[in-house]
Structure 1
Amino acid sequence: MRLFSIFGVAILSLSGLSTALTVQGDPDVNDPLVLEHLRDREKLITLEKTHRQDHIFRQSLSPTAQRADTIVRQIRQYETDYYWRVAGTPDDEYKERFAGEVFPLARPYIANTTLWKIVKRMPKGALLHAHLSAMLPYEKLVEIIIHTEGMMIASSQPVDTNDAKMNATITFSHSNSTTSEPQSPDIDSPDYVPDTKIPVTAAAANFQGGEEGFLEFIKLKTTVPPEESIRHELGVDEIWRRFQACFGPTGSMLEYEPVVRKFYQTLFSDLANDGINWVEIRSGGSSGKLVHDGQEDVDPNLDVWWTVLVEEIDKFKATEEGKNFWGVRIIWSDSRGKNRASLTKSMKIALQRKQNFPELFSGYDLVAQEDLGRPLSDLAPELVWFREQTEALNLTIPYFFHAGETLGDGNSTDDNLFDALLFNTRRIGHGFSLYKHPNLIKQTIEQNVLVEVCPISNEVLRLDTDILHHPLPAMIAHGIPTAISNDDPAILGQDVAGLSYDFFEAIQAFDNLGLAGLGALAQNSLRWANFEDQSDKEWIQDIDRGEEGTSTKAKNIQAWNSAWEDFCKWIVDEYASNYEVLAESSEN
């Protein structure tokens, strides 16, 4: 009717008839139709939010937590408007700054924000998806190596030019026959003899630019530089080649027992100080080489590596710093590129390690670039065989598969999501393409499968250009269980062992998330943590019960809930006076 009357006026006007258009009144914010529209709008938004994965958590927020959530929203909005929104200039377009920009460019500014201080202090629950050799910043690891007696470095060629530095292969090792002076020219000398071992202390001291220059060189070999991580026009395969090359030198860093022990203590300390109580680490496969203190040869006993890990976990938990650190479990991880014979051999080793360390090993996964590795459908014979062996040996080794870490829609990597659910994976690593599949979304929710989301990793490895393009909010909106992890922070630019940067990126990017949404993600990490071996029935039962009951999982969630309330009270005590006043003034 209204549309018809509008056209009617137009016809009269064009026909030249002498009718005057009479305009009556002005727009009225209190017009009943306007108020009805706003009421309907609010109902629609409220209905939409009932489908969110964090809806139940939000409904259970205490008054203090609700108030903290409101305060943090004010802080976030204030910083979005007055800190992040900076326009570039014709002379310097790189002055442009905005909330949610690419992480390598945003990272230098994050530490200056109040939101960062809040995220740093937040209890984060469990880190469920991280790869061992890429967890601790390499600057810290190299410092450990430099101060460990007898550590050596060798290079495949002199690193006297920029190209040579980029192309050289470096390895670390231990020697008992070191002297105070190197027996060869330094590795950055054109006279260096390739593959000659020299003391790391000498290499660092004599390197061009001194120890700082040496550390920069190691960083070049072990990290994806910011200028490369934003080159999205070069594609996924290119950045993966750069990324995977970093694992070569890092593997040799962790073969000497004194270094490994200091590595673990530093790693656990950093995680605990970032509010992380529990860690599940992808490792195994080719890992496990260990040279004992004062020796040079690798111990052939595959168990010694894991014995050291268990000892260092117990040692850290016994400290004051580690009193709230519940522990670590390992998800045995094989390269998805292995042929059938190699993979079967490694699976047998995994079965033996599980028998020898039943509490340490929690599950099984396949890693490396998913787009170029064997799809799960091709791996079905090995995976079916492995599951049959676990049943025959009465071992509990559930699957925690990487799946859908791709830009594809219908390619083999995308289709890994179907296989992962059919193989009853308990969690999905990345699941980046899951949001494209309505039926798989439904099945993921019905099977109580959590997606381990790694925002910064997905950005740096060129699945999205920045956090604003990440599918995390779509996953949450559809009701998919999710938790945040950091994947390979030492390589990918976080340059810290903890979760704070990934948590910050999420809350800073998405208006619908807020502190409450971040809290739900943290609590999810504990609901889907594999604290102990459980049957499929027990696993689902514990997820559904959450903090109810007396199980290990329930007790740990209860402890986190208490820490969450203390954290929310701290926010109110610390920031209410400034930001609630700010909120009131903006409303008036």
Structure 2
Amino acid sequence: MGNLRSLRHLAIFCILANGWVFVLLSELPTLRSFTPLAERVRAYETLRANILEKEISAQLGGGVLLNSKESALNELIMLEKRRELELGLTNLSQFQAAQHFFRSNEKINKTPLFQLLRGMPKGGVLHAHDMALCSSEYLLRLTYREHLWVCVSRSQTKEYERLRFSLLRPQSEQPCEWLLLSDLRGSERGDVVDKKLLAQLTMYPQVQFDNEDAVWKHFRSIFRLVIGLLTYAPVWEEYIYRALEEFYADGVQYLEIRSVLPIFYDLVGGNYTILNTTRAMRNAELRFRATHSDWIGSRLIYAPTRKVSDARLVEYLGNALLLKSHFPDYLAGFDLVGYEAEGRPLRDYARELLAVQDDINFYFHAGETNWYGSSIDENLLDAVLLGTKRIGHGLALLKHPEVLRLARLRNIAIEVSPISNQVLQYVGDLRTHPAAVLFAQNYPVVIASDDPSFWKATPLTHDFYVAFMVIGSQKADLGMLKQLASNSITYGAFEQAQREKAFEKWNKRWEKWIDDVLR
């Protein structure tokens, strides 16, 4: 260092000798008396700019090179982003991405930036659940089919507990009364019934629950209400087809559906199995693909509940192997779902899961919790050791640096669902979302919507919007958006030839979107 004539030279040396930055900076006080103030200021500014530039290039999308057309569009996107950020810096209450989604979604929908993102080809959704795919407005239309009964609570609130198609009044031990929905609409104002149904088909607009247990209790009540509507045999395939339509209209070209594979029922006591459920989903996919040439496809992740006995898990794994033999091109893999704090940890099932590890791909939910040092967040370690291809949510991942290091070494992507995390009260202000650290380090992440129907969200655009605005850096641009879309294909359940074809279809639609916006 004695050969350096000024602190400016020292600053440049610090950047070149990356690992020594902080060691060399510790020498600054001893050099101040030998360096003119103007030189020290220039050195400070140079060093600061270089560090920030290095951070920007290292973040998600920082290495994406934009062509001339993309750069032109990027100027427009960043103009709109900066406008919204300036509003937030002036008055945080006007910054929609920092509010609870239920308070901000209608205002977000009106922003030019959201409208731009709505048309953007976003690749695929790799994490979405079967019962929560379609808009609540579509579900309401399904309730106008004949022979649909609703079980009305006997409490003062008269909540709707269940829905079921039947020629005769269903029998139930539930503390509720079965009424034909068409009769209920006739005896009460139909718009009142519809409004109540819509309210119970989503988490909206309640923004605060006492705790996670209360959130999940309400969350599960929606599944209980909707399952009888969707598992009616004539409805399921139509519902899945409609889901593909809604996702496609939102800029999605590929969808991996996590399904419990509920068993159908009909009006005449038909005998159905999970093969019927899967076949209907596959039929919907084939029909949709036949009429949408740029659709990449959809696949199934069989995802039963995680709160079961060892014997039942063995049964589930047998189901997965059966599905693979019947639908080898449609089944992507296996997961266990449900409230992680109530379910059994993955470690309990390690023996059974390791026995089929070479035959079934795993895509485990893990670390969807705020606990630290419990069997719940340690599911992350077990998911990685069991060979999961991706991790669903992974909110606790930053608390386990060795697991994070191992996951990155194995190139395991994290499925980030920001709006879900907020609605289920794991994250408040999305600016504090732990995935921001993963974004800053260009960790392999994908954006997913989890249960968009229950949040009254779009299939993917709302999650992309909040990720772009507040999980990524304020300086993150079209490069980040392009990287996120690209990641969804990179980490999707494809063979190499399929992945190349998927990129070809996505790139074609991406280029068309660029041209359309610039025109």
Q: TM-score, normalised by structure 1?
A: 0.77
1:221 offset after TM fit, Å?
2.8
Q: Secondary structure at the match of 2:347?
A: coil
User: Mapping of 1:14-163 within 5 angstroms?
Assistant: 31-56=38-63, 58=64, 60-82=65-87, 87=91, 98-146=96-144, 148=145, 150-155=146-151, 157-158=153-154, 161-162=156-157
Structure 2 Cα separation of the partners of residues 552 and 372 of structure 1: 38
For residue 108 of structure 1, what is the amino acid of its counterpart? Answer: E
Structure 2 Cα separation of the partners of residues 402 and 301 of structure 1: 25
1:478 offset after TM fit, Å?
2.3
- 2:201 matches 1:201: no
For residue 203 of structure 1, what is the amino acid of its counterpart? Answer: L
For residue 501 of structure 2, what is the amino acid of its counterpart? Answer: K
Correspondence for 1:230 among 200, 204, 208: 208
For residue 312 of structure 2, what is the amino acid of its counterpart? Answer: S
Structure 2 Cα separation of the partners of residues 115 and 50 of structure 1: 24
Q: Secondary structure at the match of 1:411?
A: coil
Shift of the 350–41 alpha-carbon distance from structure 1 to 2, 3 Å rule, reads same
Shift of the 432–194 alpha-carbon distance from structure 1 to 2, 3 Å rule, reads closer
Q: Note if contact 1:290-1:305 (Cα within 8 Å) is conserved in structure 2.
A: no
- 2:304 matches 1:325: no
Question: C-alpha offsets along residues 277-321 of structure 1, whole Å, 9 cap, x if unaligned?
Answer: 111011135x13243xxx3324234322222222221112222xx
- 2:498 matches 1:552: yes
Correspondence for 1:462 among 413, 422, 425: 425
- 2:508 matches 1:562: yes
Shift of the 483–288 alpha-carbon distance from structure 1 to 2, 3 Å rule, reads same
Shift of the 437–215 alpha-carbon distance from structure 1 to 2, 3 Å rule, reads same
User: Mapping of 1:289-304 within 5 angstroms?
Assistant: 289-291=264-266, 295-304=267-276
Structure 2 Cα separation of the partners of residues 2 and 407 of structure 1: 41
Larger radius of gyration: 1
User: Mapping of 1:447-486 within 5 angstroms?
Assistant: 447-486=410-449
Question: C-alpha offsets along residues 460-491 of structure 1, whole Å, 9 cap, x if unaligned?
Answer: 11111021111222112223200100001111
- 2:464 matches 1:503: yes
Structure 2 Cα separation of the partners of residues 278 and 3 of structure 1: 57
Question: C-alpha offsets along residues 382-427 of structure 1, whole Å, 9 cap, x if unaligned?
Answer: 212333xxx5xxxx42000011111122211211111111111100
For residue 552 of structure 1, what is the amino acid of its counterpart? Answer: Q
In the alignment, what sits opposite 1:526? Answer: 489
In the alignment, what sits opposite 2:161? Answer: 169
1:86 offset after TM fit, Å?
7.3
Q: Which runs of 5+ in 1 are unaligned?
A: 7-27, 89-94, 184-192, 533-541, 543-550, 574-588
Shift of the 288–512 alpha-carbon distance from structure 1 to 2, 3 Å rule, reads farther
Structure 1 Cα separation of the partners of residues 483 and 298 of structure 2: 22
1:98 offset after TM fit, Å?
5.0
Which of 363-372 and 34-43 deviates more? 34-43
1:370 offset after TM fit, Å?
1.0
Structure 1 Cα separation of the partners of residues 360 and 353 of structure 2: 12
Q: Size of the alignment, in residue pairs?
A: 485
1:171 offset after TM fit, Å?
2.2
Instruction: Please provide the CA RMSD for this pair.
Output: 2.8
Question: C-alpha offsets along residues 334-372 of structure 1, whole Å, 9 cap, x if unaligned?
Answer: 211111122222222222122112222110001001122
- 2:362 matches 1:399: yes
Shift of the 359–561 alpha-carbon distance from structure 1 to 2, 3 Å rule, reads same
For residue 40 of structure 1, what is the amino acid of its counterpart? Answer: L
User: Mapping of 1:370-409 within 5 angstroms?
Assistant: 370-387=340-357, 391=358, 396-409=359-372
For residue 219 of structure 1, what is the amino acid of its counterpart? Answer: L
- 2:335 matches 1:365: yes
Q: Secondary structure at the match of 2:454?
A: helix
For residue 401 of structure 2, what is the amino acid of its counterpart? Answer: P
In the alignment, what sits opposite 2:19? Answer: none
Structure 1 Cα separation of the partners of residues 186 and 217 of structure 2: 31
Shift of the 265–2 alpha-carbon distance from structure 1 to 2, 3 Å rule, reads closer
In the alignment, what sits opposite 1:239? Answer: 215
Q: TM-score, normalised by structure 2?
A: 0.86
Structure 2 Cα separation of the partners of residues 486 and 449 of structure 1: 19
Q: Where in structure 1 do 4 or more consecutive aligned residues deviate above 4 Å?
A: 1-6, 84-88, 95-99
Structure 2 Cα separation of the partners of residues 364 and 342 of structure 1: 14
Shift of the 37–3 alpha-carbon distance from structure 1 to 2, 3 Å rule, reads closer
User: Mapping of 1:254-293 within 5 angstroms?
Assistant: 254-284=230-260, 287-291=262-266
Structure 2 Cα separation of the partners of residues 318 and 558 of structure 1: 18
Q: Which runs of 5+ in 2 are unaligned?
A: 1-26
Shift of the 437–70 alpha-carbon distance from structure 1 to 2, 3 Å rule, reads farther
